[in-house]
Amino acid sequence: MKPDRIIAFGLVTLGVAYASYSGVNYYQKLQVVEEARPAGQATATHAVQASSTADQAWVVVPPENRPKQGEHFADLIIPRLNAKMPVIEGTHEDELARGVGHYAGSVLPGEPDNAVLSGHRDTVFRRMGELKKGDELQVVTGQGTFVYVITKMWITEPDDRTVIVPHGKPVLTLTTCYPFSYLGPAPKRYIIQSVLKEKISEASEKQRGG
């Protein structure tokens, strides 16, 4: 074989070998990416599923089923305190004397916005200071039992209107006077905010009870 052909053959062989190495190396890197991708997708999918679960717990109460002023339409259950309190429509003194008052300008528990409940610090809400982040709040209504998880607690002024502002998700806000042991009209407000975790079906409630 002539020298120029030998050189040409050698260059071709070297090129093929390099191309093969590059191809294998690229494929191996691609495999690493593909193997890593499902884990990331699984996390994203889990987040979407969790969001979908909360979305499915939402309700919109039709006008004919909305409570009238002074009506006992729900119960607030606080597992940590082993307490069950009647929820009354309205926050005037007459309603607050009977239980927890639902601020009529807010949505109902279970609806996709900010449902606001108020109570006296020396009656129904006297142990609110014992609650912690992560505790559950359950509201039992004619539309189902809605489970909220406490995410935030703070102290504010009585005229702080941000407490009742709308939210883009189902939120339950509890308000009461503060300090809890203050003599006379308390100068501050204690706020507990929670987000909707799930809606418990009747079948699930029977299983929990049984």
pLDDT at 13 over 60: no
pLDDT of residue 104: 94
Cα–Cα distances in angstroms (integers) from residue 98 to residues 89, 113, 115, 119, 159, in the given order: 10, 25, 19, 10, 24
Question: In the predicted model, is pLDDT for residue 22 greater than 80?
Answer: no
| Confidence bin at 82 (pLDDT 50/70/90) | very high
Q: What is the pTM of this model?
A: 0.71
Strand partners, 145: 140, 200
Task: Select from 123, 142, 122, 119 the least CA-distant residue to 192.
Answer: 119
Note the pLDDT of residue 74: 98
Active site residues: 120, 177
pLDDT for 100-127, tens place per residue?
Answer: 999 999 999 999 999 999 999 999 999 9
**Cβ–Cβ < 8 Å for 111, 78:** no
DSSP H helices, the chain, are 3-56, 93-96, 202-209
CATH of domain 64-201: 2.40.260.10
Lowest mean pLDDT among 25-39, 153-167, 180-194: 25-39
Average pLDDT over residues 164-185: 91
**pLDDT tops 70 at residue 136:** yes
Mean pLDDT of 165-188: 92
